[in-house]
A and B are shown apart, each in its own frame.
Chain A
Amino acid sequence: MSQLTYREAVRHALAEELTRDPNVVVMGEEVGQFQGAYKVTQGLLEKFGPKRVADTPISEAGFIGMGIGASMLGVRPVMELMFWSFYSVAFDQILNNAANVRYMSGGQINCPIVIRGPANGGTNVGATHSHTPENILAAHPGVKVVVPSTPYDAKGLLKSAIRDNDPVFFLENTVLYGEKGEVPDEEYLIPLGKADVKREGKDLTIVTYGRPVIQSLVAAELLAKEHDISVEVVDLRTIRPLDIDTVLASVRKTHRVLVVEEQKPFCGVGAQLTYMIQAEAFDDLDAPIGRLCTIDAPAIYSPPVEAEQLPNPQRILKAALALLD
């Protein structure tokens, strides 16, 4: 085991897969010479050369589309979006081409592409740079969506994503890039679509993913210490495919659920989850399902207020207490 940052874990996954498979290429804005806008790809250009690690112009539609086209020929591009927020200018390529081309061709084509980059609020960069599009992406059959919360998960899931034969959208988090965690020295993979119980408990299940996992663990600790409440934290890790079975098993154990997501509430991932939980475990519920989201407005800039707009341990704690009332 080594202590690695989330950033290093992603970098190691990229390096290992670049080494393993000559068809893997890393492309994006500033991924090479600049060493990555968030230094995720630091050192990769030196190690693998410009054929494997390529700097693109600021043309998300152009280079994402190019990656999708190349993937149809069996290249396995890992495309970095400097921020997932910029998905909007490549939306047509992502959804009409990556997501639909297999279907429209009657299964003759597949696109083994990964698009990765950070998707989060909390860094005071305002509404244009704080989008969390996992719900919008996952709404499209044909794609897979991964949102890892820890260095261990980020590495194992990214390696699986790169080996996956369908398009995988991998949403990281700039706030987590510097967070450290244990990562095995030997190679490992984490299958997509497998949730992880990050903390066991018996009174309440928090279902969450991404940075709110970390915040929920803090809240769970406070709830245990200050309120003697035992919280189970289920980290989805992958939004699509979705490990609903692990969620339901936890619900059947605790009978109360709070869904926490760094998303606006309307048609968010939690809307789908809460629907599925009530449909499949109605009789196991002792209370209406709770939901804690980013407060429903464009991302506010004002630093202290943005922290309140997003999920945070205090907001999670309050929402949990309200549910247990």
Chain B
Amino acid sequence: MSKKPSATIEQKPTASSTSHSQAPINAALTQAQKIGLFSQMVRIRRFEERSHRAYTGKNAAGGANIGGFLHLYNGQEAIAVGCCSLMGKHDHVITAYRDHGHAIAVGMDTKALMAELYGKVTGCSKGKGGSMHFFSPERNYWGGHGIVGGQIPLGVGLAYGVKYKGHKGSAMAFMGDGAVNQGAVHEAYNLAALWNLPCIFVIENNGYSMGTSQARSSAGDLAKRAEGYGMAWGVCEGHDVYEVRATMDKFLNIAREECKPAVVEIRTYRYRGHSVADPDNTYRTKTEIEEYRRTKDPIQVFQTALIAEGVLSTESAEKIDEAARAEAEAAADFADASPYPTPEDIQKDVYWESDNPDQRTSQGRLFFN
């Protein structure tokens, strides 16, 4: 394992991002904000690379650092960063198990995220959720959900809550291209459209659900299914953070101003296997992965654009990358040094009432062992 992960951001992309840079929402960005978006994408990439190394490596005791699944976000960074950069006070986010990027994009501390992967008590869910279940309600981030499509009705509920409370806001409910075939998603579509709820359903279409390509799993166009519910829909490219922002801004404003839902399909690609431990050569070729990385890597695309705009230099990009690596390294050190929860912690955080015994109103036994 090399200390310096693969040189993804040193390659030259052929895809350009200039056409969307002039959209009002992007034209309004300051240089610092643009660099901020770039840094976040790099930080996600380096966090994921570092967590991958931790997953495949061993801890001091010779055991695994990280258990279970680890669904990495490499290749999809512009989506979470682009979408979450548009959040205001009453905009909410919920997603599936490929949730690290969104967590970083809403501003969660990478130390707490890495510690969660390590199952440590300092983790964002005290070691109780793991990779698939990151949450930060204070940042309007409602998870991190492991059942494909199961989070989508919750997203509609967040939009309902926003509307019920009279707030001008929205909920962005993220899912994969495989999730669109879950019944609960369609029930949620109908409810959001029927009740005019400000929910944007974001399909991160990375082409595959585990090892099944879109062509082998879905009939018809994914976002166009919105038409069946009388909902607006759109499609955009997910390698260009400017395009993601320009597209999402349009739908978010409709959601906030007119309380109308929409389905947005964002085309993207994942570089790693479905989960780290999964084989990655049975359903796609190395060439396919390399081709995307070479031509559409979202970080490289944005870096090239920012250099062309005179916002960024190669040296400052390098510095940002160095800092992101150092941050990921520090997160891993923090996670490594943190303690595990204790067996006594197992039965905490089950009931609000048992966690707040002074305010308990019920009686009787809550736990049975």
Contact = CB atoms under 8 A, between A and B. Distances in A.
A106 B191 contact: no
A141 B354 CA distance: 11
A106 B364 contact: no
Contacts of A25: 164
Interface string B143-158: 1111100111111111
A191 interface: yes
A304 interface: no
Interface string A146-160: 000000000000001
A241 B183 CA distance: 33
Interface string B336-369: 0000000000011111110110000111111110
B162 interface: yes
Interface residues of A, number: 58
B13 interface: no
Tell which of B142, B150, B152, B157 has the most Cβ of chain A within 10 Å. B157
A65 B349 contact: no
Contact of A142 (B165, B351, B361): B351
Nearest to B132: A104
Interface stretch (B3-11, B119-127, B241-249, B252-260): B119-127
A192 interface: yes
Contact of A141 (B147, B350, B356): B350
B46 interface: no
A165 interface: yes
Given A68-B157, A96-B147, A164-B353, A105 B363 contact: no
Contacts of A243: 363-365
Given A66-B188, A68-B157, A69-B155, A193 B362 contact: yes
B160 A65 contact: no
B161 A103 contact: no
B136 A59 contact: no
B154 A72 contact: yes
B361 to A, nearest CB: 6
Contacts of B350: 102-103, 141-142
Nearest to A189: B361
B349 A107 contact: yes
Chain A, interface SS category: mixed
B129 interface: yes
Nearest to B146: A96
Contacts of A70: 157-158, 160-161, 164
B364 A192 contact: yes
B174 to A, nearest CB: 14
Given A69-B157, A104-B135, A240-B366, A61 B187 contact: yes
Tell which of A51, A105, A241 has the most Cβ of chain B within 10 Å. A105
A242 B369 CA distance: 13
Contacts of B366: 141, 193, 240-241
Contacts of B153: 61-66, 68-69, 93, 97
A92 B182 CA distance: 12
Contacts of B184: 61-62, 65, 92-93
B188 A272 contact: no
B194 interface: yes
A276 B364 CA distance: 13
B160 A66 contact: yes
Tell which of B126, B161, B162, B364 has the most Cβ of chain A within 10 Å. B364
Size bracket, chain B contacts: 35 or more
Nearest to B151: A97
Given A104-B144, A105-B137, A192-B363, A65 B157 contact: yes
Contacts of A61: 153, 183-184, 187
A66 B164 CA distance: 12
Given A72-B158, A92-B184, A192 B137 contact: no
A109 B142 contact: yes
A26 B351 CA distance: 23
B352 A102 contact: yes
B365 A242 contact: yes
Contact of A105 (B143, B158, B188): B143
A69 B349 CA distance: 18
Contacts of A71: 157
Contacts of B190: 57, 59, 62
Tell which of B160, B161, B187, B348 has the most Cβ of chain A within 10 Å. B187
A164 B361 contact: yes
A102 B349 contact: yes
B239 interface: no
Nearest to A236: B364
Contacts of A101: 135, 143
A252 to B, nearest CB: 17
Given A92-B184, A192-B363, A74 B161 contact: yes
Contact of A92 (B136, B144, B147): B147
Nearest to B90: A73
Nearest to A195: B364
A242 B364 contact: yes
Interface in A235-269: 238, 240-245
Given A57-B194, A65-B153, A70-B158, A191 B126 contact: no
B128 interface: yes
A141 B137 contact: no
9 contacts: A57-B187, A61-B187, A70-B161, A97-B145, A104-B133, A164-B362, A192-B363, A194-B362, A194-B364
Interface of B: 92, 94, 123-129, 133, 135-138, 142-147, 150-158, 160-162, 164-165, 171, 183-184, 187-188, 190-191, 194-195, 347-353, 355-356, 361-368
Listed from nearest, the 10 A-B pairs whose CB atoms lie closest are A69-B157, A65-B153, A62-B187, A193-B364, A73-B161, A107-B349, A69-B154, A241-B364, A106-B125, A106-B126
Given A75-B164, A107-B348, 15 more contacts: A62-B184, A72-B142, A73-B157, A73-B161, A73-B162, A92-B150, A102-B349, A103-B349, A106-B123, A108-B137, A191-B361, A191-B362, A195-B364, A238-B364, A244-B364
